[in-house]
Structure 1
Amino acid sequence: MTARPRRQAFGDGFALFAECLLTGVWFALAALPVVTVPAAFAAAARHLRAYTEGDPASWGAFWADFRAAWRTGWRVGLAMLGAALLLALNLAVLAQEGVPGRPGFALATFAVASLALTVLLRAAADWTPGARWRELFAAALDHTRTDPAGTGILLGGLAAFAAAAWALWLLAVPMAGCLAGAAVAVRRRRLDRAEEAAGE
């Protein structure tokens, strides 16, 4: 009697994993211009949220969400691109011999970049059509501070993404979908905990 629920749970989990991999492909296509990464993450997270909640989730809906997220979030994409270029310049300077305190500055740079990415992932996971990105980032920054466990999960996801991409750059495509899935899971975990606290 207990074998069937286990098989069903395994099947559901594997189906979700496959959906994350497929979403990673869609994300990669949407993120090709680089400046569209925030909008692509928002569409990917919304797609996975719809999938896990049993709502209609399709290729067409993904691209509709992507276009809506880009229309309201193109400034976020430009800011992210500028920050990425500044990070690359900083790392290029630190790569030079003779720079004092290189290891410490490099570690601080990666730490700040990683935390900034967790804020972006949280904001993207909360995005809905019509949402204001400024408000999403303000809430995401607060959640990053008040939910250290969720932040740790996202940092672990980023580390796994970086390791996979370092080993084989093509793995970055499916892993991006898994990263969006991690952001959705952290969001669901936070909402569940808030509901439990409100019910007590």
Structure 2
Amino acid sequence: MKRFAAGFALFGECLTAGLLVLLAALPVVTLVPALAAGCAHIKAHVDGETTSVRAFFERVRVALPGGWAVSLGVVVGFAVLVVDVVFLRTRVAGGGFVAVVCGVAAVGVAVVVLRVAALWAPGTRWPSVLRDASRRSAADFTGSLLLVMSLAVLLIVTWQLPPLVVPMLGCVLMAAVAVDRRHLTVAHQPQPR
């Protein structure tokens, strides 16, 4: 019964984090800081720290310097990929192949953004977080694949029932935190000789 209560509490925090991230990301330039604060919110719950709404928005405020530029880059990158897909699929011969390449690139960017959000902590600098997240995305293929699967579940579930975007976003953030912690655990295991 205790495990059920702990799991239900974690799901409740995922629901709260999803809702708060959606609210904080509305200005668009706060997208990555909101995702980072959402991951920090879930980490805080797992570690037994403060998970109040005030603490969440304080994390967003701390992540905003420098984070707005990352958000702007991410939004512009996704916009370019979407425009390429729409334009190339309808107007260029062989555009279907390029559209698939753009789709794969968009998934890759989304994985790196989730890794960035999970790696960020108050006091870290965005350029170093971006570098580390990019390296981990390439080096930890299994973790990146897990994040792709969580994004696929998010898309399928919200396509079928759009209001579920709130809890599903929280679950994707939880997956990003779990993949980050998994990477740290695997990295610190002794290697067989």
- Taking structure 2 as the reference length, the TM-score comes to 0.93
Partner of 1:124: 117
CA apart distance, 1:191: 1.1
1:35–1:80 contact (8 Å) kept in structure 2: no
Contact 1:24 1:177 in 2 (8 A): yes
Alpha-carbon displacement from aligned partner over 1:152-188 (angstroms, at most 9, x marks no partner): 1100011111112222332222211111111000011
Deviations 1:95-142 (A, max 9, x none): 41x522233212111111111111111111111112111111111111
Distance in 2 (alpha carbons) for counterparts of 1:197 and 1:123: 26
Residue identity opposite 2:22 in structure 1: A
Question: Deviation at 1:77?
Answer: 1.2
1:1-80 correspondence runs (5 A): 7-80=1-74
Question: Alpha-carbon deviation of 1:190?
Answer: 1.0
What do you get for the CA RMSD once the two structures are aligned?
A: 1.8
Q: For 1:191, which of 184, 187, 191 is the aligned residue?
A: 184
Aligned to 1:88: 82
Does structure 1 residue 103 correspond to structure 2 residue 116? no
Mapped to 2, the partners of 1:37 and 1:142 lie a distance apart of 21
- What amino acid maps onto 1:109 in structure 2? C
Query: Any gaps of 5 or more consecutive residues in structure 2?
Result: none
Unaligned runs of 5+ in 1: 1-6
Alignment partner of 1:149 is 2:142: yes
Task: Tell me the matched-pair count.
Answer: 193
CA distance in 1, matches of 2:163, 2:177: 23
User: d(CA) in 2 for partners of 1:168 and 1:94?
Assistant: 30
| TM-score normalised by the chain length of structure 1 | 0.90
Q: How many percent identity over aligned positions?
A: 38
Describe the superposition over 1:21-73 as per-residue Cα deviations: whole angstroms up to 9, x where unpaired. 11100011001112211010000000100110111221111000001111231
What CA distance in whole angstroms lies between the structure 2 residues aligned with 1:17 and 1:166? 21
Cα shift readout 1:63-95 (whole Å, capped 9, x = no counterpart): 000011112311111111211221221122034
